[in-house]
């Protein structure tokens, strides 16, 4: 072949999209030119460049060690991020290549060698034309010799693909084509029906496919050879089609037919892997149901056996589907391995992660990778028989032990709907009972431990939280919210929140929400008041919100109340009440060891009341919920809710804040009421002596009045309570409601798009059900574009606050409202003149004080209110989508962290 | 706020209105003085030859009080400008504490020094005096006023003020109406008030001037050195200066979280007791004043007072020794001290070179700061420093940094965790971190009777529970069984046939 022809045709080099490409060639062979032509500049890391980076001289050979250290570091970062990376260095020495092969393996990408085999003379000639390359020809000659020696060894060194370009012409003409990884089927977007371990249970598989709406196709002998899916759907098998069960060939025939017809995808299981080796005559131990497969296949034709062997051999160990949102493999896959290719990726996909230990049944102890899984992709897998599928951090094991007499299970994706058919019988006796995992579940202890996770991926509430779920690893942690974009949490605020959350807050499982802070209305310019409703109405009018609802602001303590329909729901969904010592399920009613079938917590996530009082309050409210029809009202369609989350105010203030009242508020009042009359008397006597004390007497008298008003203000919010007697709960918003079954689709709903009148209607129903405990929230709807309506709103506020009320909260009737500049404030508070004495001090109403206090800055508070609101909604929406605990908890934690930001506490 | 001083005529004071000379303030006029916290007025409600009363009325500006005054060099609240709500609703305008004392020192400076050129004899002689202060914050109860003033020759009436007549169940406030009568030199009386009003107040959050030590020495001259409560007086007086003020960003953040929940920050940021830093200079001054007398202990710390039992070695020390011993026996060289607190165990671990890697972990940022200070991290030799690391973590979260150690210690830690959260701790320590050895100590509640604690009373305010030996054994066995450990349960401290030992010790190994 002449050089011209080679150039015209040009070699096509296939390179996987995620790979480490190692260029191999002597100095002067044209590597950099080739790389610049075939790859993006950022993909190419050259040793010359890194010599320059570390030594300011690209040719300083004494800097090579440092240069390669820096280069390898960057290679590692790029590979970790899944980026194709090209190393432009001579790489003619085996040790140089070995370190790169090792790096590729460490990041589970394919090492690819591209050899530029250019005659030494040509290289020398090129170097001579470059003034900066002053090393002699002997160097190039040595390179060329080393390259020659290396050529036959490259495959053995671990390069999975080796391209050799011979001569300058081939180098100049070569092109690169990027190929998709075999596991990369992101273009397939489903919907899918992902089927768990079949293990030769052909009958159950046929039933399941039929249940899923597939139409079986049969051959002349009546054997199922395919199944036409319902419109647009594709089946996906998680492997372990074979062994143990009654008809491995029948299962293979059906699945092979479906895969060939494009009706199904399939990944291999460890049993397929072993069966192939057995079929190839390798020496494998015939156990775990392999004998059955071999015996059944022995009755088939050699052609079928060959076909089956080829089918199983051609399966790719895991699949990345639906734009990367779904990963299917037999034994699960940690995030770092998604879309990667290496021996250990394959091994993980087939066998899972093991600790190297074995349990009391002699089975390998599996490492609970799913509990540490924090990836966004859903991972569906099988391999580990469990009695019921349990979501763990967006992963689901679909092996429900059909062959052991359990069930054959599929998941409809993206609907997250589980479809199961029971086994026709126990086809094979399990080594260890399936129930063992249920015991671990009941134990309530997170993994890993040999006793509890020998077979299971772990109980639901072992979704143990990681410190990295809440603490930033730099100065800030950023959370994505649907309604307010990216929200940052600073390290110091997270540190403070960590201490409060871990030392004082309740269990994170029920703690689905923390209330956001709320900004006051803009500061009024009217004399004598700091806050006035006109400002609130005007602000919403500016935001384009016409209908607002004014809600009476109760002066107590904020409380979030979780109510469960039954104690069983509280235990199952939220792990409340722990588990009876005998490890049983504890029955279905009143068996929570006296614990509440719900929870009540404060703004910072502390238990609002002690255990006994919590249980009593929750029971009263559950009874009210029953009577008010709350479960149905908050349910979805025909499904009544199993649990409901309510935003409430609990009164009196003194119930929770009595220590604060004694230490702070009552103390100030007591001091003022004693000091000021004494001072007034003294000044009165001075004046009586005819000495002019100026305004001092009048000022002292005014202070006396202020202190009395201050005392009256806090007294309104205090009354004695005894147990539940005296306690009032004012619910004003239904935050979320859901089902006990977290695998339901959807498992819960949030209600921030329901208008506030619906929420208040529910509150009214609860009041009607238990007027002694549940306090009503008075409200008035105002149109911000109607002067008469606005005036009525103002008058209503004056009436409320004139009677000693704290004030009111003005909210858009529609609830969540998005304006041109993003979400609008979900509510603003307009506090009464007298109430504010508790906040700004007894004497704040003195004109000189008021004038100074008007200079308050609301910007930070408003921003904080929106961020916390968005985080709270994010927590609720993630709950509604059935997202893992860590995804919910990171939002709740972030609300707490934001609460510790420095903002004027009086706002 | 208000203070009155009444002089009645006696042999040393033929005309009571001479009080005006002694105070250098004319009884026929109302005079006003600008002081740090606002305006001080001196007026005479009564000025007759038999009886003359001077009143000091201090008008505090509550808004400025919170904001502080730029350039005044006085910080009255936590720095940062925002602070907590407590500052805004404040007793300072009404209660006679340090602000009144400062005003007193400013307005009656000459009288405090005992100088009166026009009436030198009266200034030098004991006078029949009556002092009233209608609202005195008195931390430690009305009885303390008696203990402080009576030894100085005063007849003391200190009537507690109720918090709120409408809520008698709230009890008395910390204020008393104070009335002192006695025959005392005027300058001495003023000095008594100048020193003792802030001492009674004992407010933590108000800083006064930097030269308070000198002022105390001066004002206490002639009476403080022989005062039976001089230890308490000195300690409280000086505490105002180095009052613990949270400065780190993390700690200010915690203050705000306490505020958000209507709780006191001291009930939240309480992982380690508040430190009282005392400089060498102050120590010396304090010794000068108190003549070497040991400090009294009127206000027991929140710490484990009952643990200071008689015996060869305090229980805390025995506990550390037992833990270190268990670690040595296990052959551990890398050790995690989980919940290291102030770092007492860390110091013992660092002292033994066989522990080559020591990590102190605590959820409290302040605890870690205190530990760093106590261990003198900044001055630690490099070789020792390299063995130690301090990290913030929470035992209810899994933390990958805690994996791979030979041993972990939970010394007096589990009882600070709410029982429903114990499984999370168990999972994080025995499941995820999973060291070969875990050493756990916790109080034996049965022993509490020996400390005089009644049923239901725990040894520490933050203890969420204390276990009997049987309860600890059950927990330990469960943990061991669930996580593949073998556990040995023993005790630390004096053995009692019936009650066992005061501290329980569990050593888990796998």
What ipTM score was computed for the predicted complex, to two decimals?
0.85
Does the pLDDT of residue A776 top 80, yes or no?
Answer: yes
Per-residue tokens: B303:
């710490």
Which of A504, A658, A667 is nearest residue B91 as measured by Cβ atoms? A667
Interface mutation vs chain B, best among A458, A667, A692, most B CBs within 10 Å: A667
Q: Do domains B2-208 and B307-509 have the same CATH topology?
A: no
Token pair 């603003």: residue:
A828
* Cross-chain CB nearest to B394 (options A502, A841, A842): A502
d(CA A45, CA A71): 7
What is the rounded CA–CA span in Å between residue A145 and residue A131? Answer: 24
Average pLDDT over residues A486-504: 93
Structural domain boundaries of chain A? 3-179, 184-432, 653-715
Q: How many residues does chain A have?
A: 907
Number of Cβ pairs < 8 A linking chain A and chain B: 287
Sheet holding A264-266, edge to edge: A264-266, A234-237, A192-195, A407-413, A417-422
Give the gap in angstroms from C-alpha B124 to the nearest C-alpha of chain A. Answer: 28
Residues of A whose CB is below 8 A from B428: 446, 464
B43 touches chain A (CB under 8 A): yes
Indicate yes or no: CB of A667 within 8 angstroms of CB of B173: yes
Using the beta-carbon criterion (under 8 Å), do A675 and B57 form an inter-chain contact?
no
The pLDDT of A470-489, averaged and rounded, is: 93
Query: How are strands ordered across the β-sheet holding A728-738?
Result: A598-601, A557-564, A643-651, A728-738, A748-750
Taking the C-alpha atoms of residue B491 and residue B318, their distance in angstroms, rounded to an integer, is 11
Contacts of B271 in chain A (CB under 8 A): 499, 503
Position A853 scores a pLDDT of: 87
DSSP of B289-339, one letter per residue? HHTTPPPP-SS--SS-GGG--SSSS-HHHHHHHHHHHHHHHTT-SEEEEET
Band the pLDDT of B240: cuts 50, 70, 90: low
Per-window interface: B 112-131 vs A, CB < 8 A = none
- In which band, very low, low, confident or very high, does the pLDDT at A485 lie, cut at 50, 70 and 90? very high
- Interface check B482 vs A, CB under 8 A: yes
Q: Mean pLDDT, to the nearest integer, of A478-500?
A: 94
pLDDT of residue A100: 96
Q: The dihedral of CA B201, B202, B207, B209: what is its sign?
A: positive
User: Which residue bears the tokens 């096509």?
Assistant: A12
Q: Residue A848: what pLDDT?
A: 85
Kindly identify which residue of chain A lies nearest to residue B45, measuring between CA atoms: A686
pLDDT at B292 over 50: no
CATH topology classification for A184-432: Purple Acid Phosphatase; chain A, domain 2 (3.60.21)
Q: Is A442 on the interface with B (CB under 8 A)?
A: no
Give me the residues paired with residue A226 across strands. Answer: A217
Partner residue opposite A663 with nearest CB, options B264, B400, B401:
B264
B298 has a pLDDT exceeding 70: no
| Residue B243, pLDDT score | 47
Contact B240, B198 (CB under 8 A): yes
Question: Is residue B207 scored above 70 in pLDDT?
Answer: no
Please tell me the distance in Å from A449's CA to the nearest CA on chain B: 5
Q: What is the pLDDT of residue A457?
A: 31
What does the pLDDT read at residue A2? 47
Model pLDDT, residue B215? 77
Give the pLDDT band of residue B67 (cuts 50, 70, 90): low
pLDDT at B282 over 50: no
Say if the Cβ atoms of A905 and B85 lie within 8 Å.
Answer: yes
Q: Do A445 and B423 touch (CB under 8 A)?
A: yes
Q: Which residue has the higher pLDDT, A452 or A185?
A: A185
One of 3.30.1440.10, 2.70.150.10, 3.90.1150.170, 3.40.50.300 is the CATH number of A3-179, namely: 3.40.50.300
Pick the more confident residue, A32 or B208: A32
pLDDT of residue B338: 97
* Residue B287 touches chain A, beta carbons under 8 Å: no
If one compares B215 and A272, the residue with the highest pLDDT of the two is A272
* C-beta atoms of A451 and B432 within 8 A: no
Q: For residue range A882-898, what is the model confidence (pLDDT) as tens digits?
A: 899 999 999 999 999 99
The domain spans of chain B are: 2-208, 307-509
**Cβ–Cβ contact B56 with A under 8 A:** no
- Give the pLDDT confidence score for residue A446 in this predicted structure: 28
Q: What is the pLDDT of residue B163?
A: 94
Question: Are B89 and A495 an interchain contact pair (Cβ–Cβ within 8 Å)?
Answer: no
Determine the average pLDDT of the residues in A177-202: 95
pLDDT at A235: 97
The pLDDT confidence band at residue A8, using thresholds 50, 70 and 90, is: low
Q: Which of A500, A691, A903 shows the shortest C-beta gap to B43?
A: A691
- Is there a contact between B174 and A667 if contact means CB atoms under 8 Å apart? yes
pLDDT of residue B69: 38
Nearest Cα residue in chain B from A704: B94
Q: Is A446 within 8 Å of B46 when comparing Cβ atoms?
A: no
What is the structure's pLDDT at A835? 93
Confidence of residue A880 (pLDDT cuts 50, 70, 90): very high
Fold type of domain B307-509: Rossmann fold (3.40.50)
Query: Are A445 and B90 a contacting pair at CB < 8 A?
Result: no
Out of A470, A493, A682, closest to residue B43 by CB: A682
Which of residues A132 and A906 earns the better pLDDT score?
A906
Nearest of A11, A149, A20 to residue A89 by alpha carbon? A20
- Smallest CA–CA distance from A907 into chain B, residue: B85
Q: Which fold has domain B2-208?
A: c-terminal autoproteolytic domain of nucleoporin nup98 (3.30.1610)
Q: Is A168 helix (H, G, I), strand (E, B) or coil?
A: helix
What is the value of pTM for the model shown? 0.85
Please give, one letter per residue, the 3-state secondary structure of A294-322: HHHHHCCCHHHHHHHHHHHHCCCCEEEEH
- What residue in B sits closest to A666 (Cα-Cα)? B163
What percentage of residues in chain A have a pLDDT greater than 70?
Answer: 92
For B420, which of A503, A507, A842 is closest by C-beta distance?
A: A507
Is the pLDDT at B307 greater than 60, yes or no?
A: no
Compute the nearest-CA separation of B187 from chain A (Å).
Answer: 23
Tell me the average pLDDT of chain B. Answer: 84
Contact B175 A896 (CB under 8 A): no
- Radius of gyration for the alpha carbons in chain A, expressed in angstroms and rounded: 36
B-facing residues of A in 360-419 (CB < 8 A) are 372
Please check whether residue A53 touches B, CB under 8 A. Answer: no
Subunit contact A674:B269, Cβ cutoff 8 A: no
Task: Kindly state the DSSP code that residue A524 receives in the 8-state scheme.
Answer: P
pLDDT in tens, B216-239: 778 888 888 889 998 888 888 776
Residue B208 has pLDDT above 90, yes or no: no
How far apart CA A670 and CA B135 sit, in angstroms, is 9
The pLDDT tens digits for A140-177 are: 888 888 998 999 999 999 998 999 999 989 999 999 99
- B423 and chain A in contact, CB less than 8 A: yes
Question: What is the pLDDT, as a whole number, of residue A442?
Answer: 30
pLDDT tens-digit readout, A413-435: 998 899 999 999 999 988 766 54
A814/A832 Cα distance (integer angstroms): 25
Tell me how far apart the alpha carbons of residues A248 and A201 are, in angstroms, rounded to a whole number: 7
Is A699 an interface residue toward B (CB < 8 Å)? yes
Beta strands (DSSP E) in A565-613 are 598-601
């Amino acid at each position: 072949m002449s050089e011209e022809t080679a150039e015209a045709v040009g070699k096509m080099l296939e390179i996987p999209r995620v790979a480490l490409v190692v260029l191999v060639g002597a100095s002067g062979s044209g590597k950099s030119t080739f790389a610049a032509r075939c790859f993006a500049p950022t993909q190419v890391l050259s040793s010359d460049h890194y010599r320059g980076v570390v030594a300011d001289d690209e040719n300083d050979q004494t800097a090579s060690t440092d240069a390669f250290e820096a280069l390898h570091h960057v290679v590692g970062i790029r590979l970790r991020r899944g980026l194709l990376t090209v190393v432009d260095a001579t790489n003619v020495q085996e040790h140089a290549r070995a370190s790169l092969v090792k790096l590729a393996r460490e990041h589970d990408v394919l090492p690819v060698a591209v050899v530029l085999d250019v005659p030494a003379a040509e290289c020398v000639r090129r170097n001579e034309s470059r003034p900066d390359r002053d090393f002699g020809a002997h160097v190039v000659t040595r390179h060329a010799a080393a390259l020659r020696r290396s050529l036959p060894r490259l495959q053995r060194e671990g390069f999975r693909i080796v391209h050799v370009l011979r001569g300058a012409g081939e180098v100049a003409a070569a092109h690169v084509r990027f190929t998709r990884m075999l596991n990369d089927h992101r273009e397939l977007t489903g919907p899918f029906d992902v089927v768990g371990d079949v293990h030769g249970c052909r009958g159950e598989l046929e039933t399941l496919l039929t249940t899923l709406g597939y139409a079986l196709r049969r051959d002349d002998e009546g054997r199922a050879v395919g199944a036409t899916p319902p419109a647009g759907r594709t089946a996906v098998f998680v492997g372990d089609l074979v062994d143990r069960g009654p008809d491995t060939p029948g299962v293979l025939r059906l699945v092979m037919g479906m895969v060939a017809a494009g009706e199904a995808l399939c990944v291999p299981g460890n049993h397929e892997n072993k069966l192939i080796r057995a079929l190839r005559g390798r020496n494998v131990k015939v156990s775990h149901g392999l004998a059955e497969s071999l015996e059944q296949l022995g009755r088939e034709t050699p052609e079928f056996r060959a076909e089956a062997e080829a089918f199983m051999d051609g399966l790719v160990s895991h699949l990345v589907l639906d734009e990367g949102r779904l990963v299917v493999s037999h034994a699960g896959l940690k995030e770092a391995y998604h879309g990667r290719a290496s021996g250990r990726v394959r091994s993980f996909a087939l066998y899972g992660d093991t600790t190297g230990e074995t349990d009391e049944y002699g089975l390998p102890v599996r490492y609970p990778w799913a509990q540490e899984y924090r990836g966004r992709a859903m991972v569906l897998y099988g391999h580990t028989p469990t009695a019921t599928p349990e979501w763990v951090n967006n992963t689901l094991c679909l092996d429900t032990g059909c062959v052991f007499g359990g069930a054959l299970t599929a998941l409809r994706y993206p609907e997250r709907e589980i479809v199961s058919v029971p086994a026709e019988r126990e086809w094979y006796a399990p080594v260890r009972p399936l129930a063992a995992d249920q015991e671990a579940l009941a134990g309530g202890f997170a993994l890993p431990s040999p006793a509890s996770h020998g077979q299971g991926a772990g109980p639901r509430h072992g979704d143990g939280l990681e410190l990295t779920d809440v603490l930033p690893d730099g100065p800030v942690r950023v959370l994505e919210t649907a309604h307010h974009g990216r929200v940052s949490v600073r390290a110091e605020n997270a540190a403070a929140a960590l201490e409060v959350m871990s030392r004082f807050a309740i269990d994170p499982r029920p703690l689905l929400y923390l209330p956001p802070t709320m900004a006051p209305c803009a500061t009024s310019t009217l004399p004598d008041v700091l806050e006035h409703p006109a400002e609130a109405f005007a602000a919403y009018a500016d935001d384009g919100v016409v209908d607002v609802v004014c809600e009476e602001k109760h002066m107590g303590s904020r409380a979030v109340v979780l109510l469960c329909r039954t104690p069983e729901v509280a235990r199952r969904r939220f792990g409340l009440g722990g588990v009876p010592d005998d490890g049983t399920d504890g029955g279905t009613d009143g068996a929570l060891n006296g614990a509440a079938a719900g929870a009540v917590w404060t703004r910072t996530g502390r238990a609002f009341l002690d255990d006994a009082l919590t249980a009593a309050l929750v029971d009263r409210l559950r009874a009210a919920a029953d009577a008010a029809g709350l479960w149905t009202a908050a349910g979805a369609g025909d499904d009544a809710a199993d649990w409901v989350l309510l935003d409430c105010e609990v009164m009196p203030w003194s119930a929770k804040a009595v220590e604060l009242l004694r230490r702070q508020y009552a103390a100030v009042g007591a001091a003022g009421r004693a000091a000021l009359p004494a001072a007034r008397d003294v000044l009165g006597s001075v004046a009586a002596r005819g000495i002019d004390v100026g305004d001092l007497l009048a000022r002292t008298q005014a202070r006396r009045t202020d202190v009395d008003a201050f005392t009256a203000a806090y007294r309104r919010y205090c009354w004695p309570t005894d147990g539940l007697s005296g306690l009032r709960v004012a619910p004003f918003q239904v935050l979320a409601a859901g089902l006990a079954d977290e695998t339901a689709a959807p498992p819960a709903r949030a209600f921030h798009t329901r208008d506030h009148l619906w929420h208040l209607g529910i509150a009214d129903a609860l009041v009607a059900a238990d007027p002694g405990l549940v306090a009503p929230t008075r409200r008035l709807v105002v149109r911000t574009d109607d002067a008469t309506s606005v005036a009525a709103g103002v008058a209503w506020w004056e009436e409320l606050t004139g009677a000693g009320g704290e004030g009111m909260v003005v909210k858009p009737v529609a609830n969540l409202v998005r304006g041109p500049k993003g979400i609008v404030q979900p509510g603003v508070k307009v506090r009464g003149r007298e109430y504010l004495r508790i906040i700004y001090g007894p004497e704040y109403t003195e004109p000189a004080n008021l004038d100074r206090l008007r200079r308050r800055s609301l910007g930070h508070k408003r921003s904080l209110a929106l961020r916390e609101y968005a985080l709270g909604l994010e927590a609720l929406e993630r709950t509604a989508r059935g997202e893992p605990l860590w995804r919910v908890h990171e939002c709740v934690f972030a609300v707490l962290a934001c609460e510790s930001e420095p903002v004027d506490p009086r706002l | 706020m208000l203070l009155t001083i009444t002089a009645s005529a006696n042999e040393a004071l033929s005309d009571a209105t001479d009080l005006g000379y002694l105070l250098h303030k004319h009884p026929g006029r109302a005079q006003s003085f600008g002081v740090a916290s606002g305006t001080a007025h001196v007026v005479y409600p009564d000025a007759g030859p038999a009886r003359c009363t001077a009143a000091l009325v201090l008008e505090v500006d509550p808004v400025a009080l919170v904001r502080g005054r730029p350039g005044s060099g006085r910080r009255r609240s936590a720095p940062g400008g925002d602070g907590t709500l407590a500052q805004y609703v404040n007793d300072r305008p009404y209660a006679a504490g340090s602000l009144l004392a400062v005003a007193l020192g400013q307005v009656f400076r000459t009288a405090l020094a005992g100088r009166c050129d026009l009436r030198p004899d009266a200034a030098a002689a004991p006078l029949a005096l009556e002092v009233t202060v209608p609202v005195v914050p008195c931390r430690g109860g009305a009885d303390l006023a008696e203990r402080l003033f009576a030894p100085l020759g005063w007849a003391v009436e200190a009537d507690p003020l109720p918090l709120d007549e409408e809520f008698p169940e709230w009890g008395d406030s910390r204020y008393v109406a104070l009335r002192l009568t006695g025959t005392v030199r005027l300058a001495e009386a003023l000095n008594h008030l100048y020193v003792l009003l802030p001492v009674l107040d004992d407010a933590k959050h108000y800083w006064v001037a930097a030269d308070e030590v000198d002022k105390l020495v001066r004002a206490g001259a002639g009476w403080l050195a022989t005062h039976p409560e001089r230890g308490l007086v000195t300690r409280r007086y000086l505490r105002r200066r180095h009052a613990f003020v949270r400065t780190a960003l993390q700690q200010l953040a915690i203050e705000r979280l306490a505020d958000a929940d209507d709780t006191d920050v001291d009930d939240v940021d309480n992982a380690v007791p508040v430190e009282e830093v005392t400089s060498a200079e102050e120590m010396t001054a304090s010794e000068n004043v108190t003549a070497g007398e040991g400090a009294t202990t009127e206000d027991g710390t929140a710490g484990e007072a009952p643990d200071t039992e008689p015996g060869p070695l305090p229980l805390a020390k025995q506990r550390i020794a037992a833990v270190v011993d268990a670690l040595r026996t296990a052959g551990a060289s890398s050790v995690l001290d989980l919940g290291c607190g102030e770092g007492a165990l860390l110091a013992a671990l660092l002292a033994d070179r066989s522990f080559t890697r020591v990590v102190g972990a605590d959820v409290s940022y302040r605890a870690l700061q205190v530990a760093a200070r106590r261990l003198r991290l900044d001055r630690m030799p490099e070789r020792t420093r390299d063995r130690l690391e301090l990290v913030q973590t929470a035992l209810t979260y899994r933390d990958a940094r805690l994996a791979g150690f030979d041993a972990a210690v939970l010394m007096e830690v589990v009882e600070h965790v709410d029982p429903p959260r114990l499984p999370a701790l168990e999972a994080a320590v025995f499941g995820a971190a999973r060291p070969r050895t875990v050493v756990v100590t916790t109080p034996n509640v049965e022993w509490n009777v020996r400390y005089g604690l009644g049923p239901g009373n725990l040894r520490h305010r933050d203890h969420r529970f204390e276990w009997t030996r049987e309860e600890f054994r059950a927990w330990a066995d469960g943990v061991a069984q669930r996580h593949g450990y073998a556990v040995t349960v023993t005790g630390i401290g004096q053995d009692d046939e019936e009650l066992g030992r005061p501290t329980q010790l569990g050593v888990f190994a796998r």
